[in-house]
Every structure is written in C-alpha cells, then in structure tokens.
C-alpha cells in the first residue's frame, strides 16, 4: 500500500508541475506500444519498433489563426527504440531508459505549399532517461520523463522540416 501511495503522489506532483508551466506547441510524446505501453520489457537490452502515421488538413499559424490547407498533409515516422531495463527494483517497480531516432517521410501536397512529392530523413531524437513501471494484480502503470533533442532537419520557414529545431520535454503516464 505504501508503494501505491508513493506512486500516486509522484503522479499528482508531476502532473501539477506540467500544468503550471503550460504546454508549448511542438513535439508529440509517443504512446510507445499501444495496449502494452504500461509494461516494461524484461531486464536487459531490447529493441522496439514503432510506426506512426499522421494526417492533417489544418495548420495553426504563430498568431493562433487556423489555416485550412485544402488538401491533407501526410507524415509517416518509423522509430526503433533501444531500451535498457535494470534488473533490481526501484521504488517497487522496474527502472528503464530508452532512446531512438525516427526516420520520417513527409508528403506535402496541398496547393499552397511549394514542395511537391515526398521528403524523407531523420527526425528529432526521443530520449527517456528515467522511467518506472509497476505491475499489480489487475493493472500496470508506467511513468516516464523524457525529452526530444533537435536532430531532425530544421530551417525556419521551410515547409519540409522533419524536426522542430529545439529541445522539449514531456511526461507520460500509461495504464492498459
């Protein structure tokens, strides 16, 4: 019961901090592996491969104005995460860390963009330096803190950026 109370306290503290500082537009923290996202792999090293497809028909400008693009923008990203799970419990759960670099393919085809065809390359690196996963009788819970590093191509004003050009951090909490 003490471990569960500590976990709930940490979640409340982290969520309170993230709400107090506000959210900035930018990176999207991946849900990692769907229904199993709250379960850490077995101790040791592992690889996880994830594919994401994004589709949008609107763009929010810097001044907050919503711009209808007329056609959709499609992006595909594939990321392979290298994960290390420690073999000794930390706060009653499994401690792990992970990192990965996505390979992205951006297809811009709205009439108001000058880029035609597809653009592919490396996106912004995702790093989880600290994550804890707990498994209970009927549920699992994972808390992660992570950041994106600006490793993807970025040029101010370009329509084919694969990165954001800045670091950003995030917290994730998962239960199946």
pLDDT digits (tens, 9 = 90+) for 29-43: 554 555 566 678 889
pLDDT of 54-89, one tens digit each? 777 777 777 788 877 766 777 778 888 899 999 999
C-alpha dihedral sign at 81, 170, 76, 163: negative
Average pLDDT over residues 7-14: 52
Mean pLDDT, residues 148-157 taken together: 86
Range of the domain at 33: 2-174
Average pLDDT of the residues in 10-35: 49
Look at residue 17 in the predicted model and tell me its pLDDT. Answer: 45
Residue 24 has pLDDT above 50, yes or no: no
User: Between 21 and 39, whose confidence is greater?
Assistant: 39
91-146 confidence digits (pLDDT tens): 999 999 999 988 887 765 544 444 444 578 888 898 989 999 998 888 888 888 99
pLDDT of residue 58: 76
Dump the DSSP string for the chain.
-HHHHHHHHHHHHHHHHHHHH---S-------SGGGTT----SEEEEEEEEEEEEEEEEE-TTS-EEEEEEEEEEEEEEEEEEEE-SS-BTTBEEEEEEEEEEEEEEE--TT-S--SEEEEE--EEEEEEEEEEE-SS-EEEEEEEEEE--S---TT-S--SS-SS-EEEEEEE--
- What's the pLDDT score for residue 22? 38
pLDDT of residue 115: 46
Q: Which of 133, 116, 127 is nearest to 151 (CA)?
A: 127
Residue 23's pLDDT is 37
Say how many domains are in the chain.
1
Give the model's pLDDT for residue 86. Answer: 93
pLDDT at 84: 95
């Amino acid at each position: 019961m003490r471990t569960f109370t500590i976990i709930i306290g940490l979640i409340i503290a982290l969520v309170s901090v993230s709400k107090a500082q506000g959210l900035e537009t930018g990176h999207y923290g991946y849900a990692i592996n769907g229904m199993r996202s709250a379960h850490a792999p077995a101790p040791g090293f592992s690889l996880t491969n994830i594919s994401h497809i994004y589709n949008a028909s609107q763009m929010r400008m810097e001044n907050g104005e919503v711009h209808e693009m007329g056609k959709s923008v499609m992006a595909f990203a594939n990321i392979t995460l290298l994960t290390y799970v420690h073999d000794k419990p930390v706060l009653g759960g499994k401690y792990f860390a992970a990192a990965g670099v996505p390979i992205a393919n951006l297809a811009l085809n709205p009439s108001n963009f000058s880029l035609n065809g597809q653009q592919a390359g490396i996106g912004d690196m995702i790093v989880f330096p600290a994550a804890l996963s707990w498994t209970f009788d009927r549920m699992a819970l994972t808390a992660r803190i992570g950041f994106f590093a600006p490793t993807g191509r970025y040029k101010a004003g370009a329509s084919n950026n694969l990165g954001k050009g800045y670091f950003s951090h995030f917290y994730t909490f998962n239960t199946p």
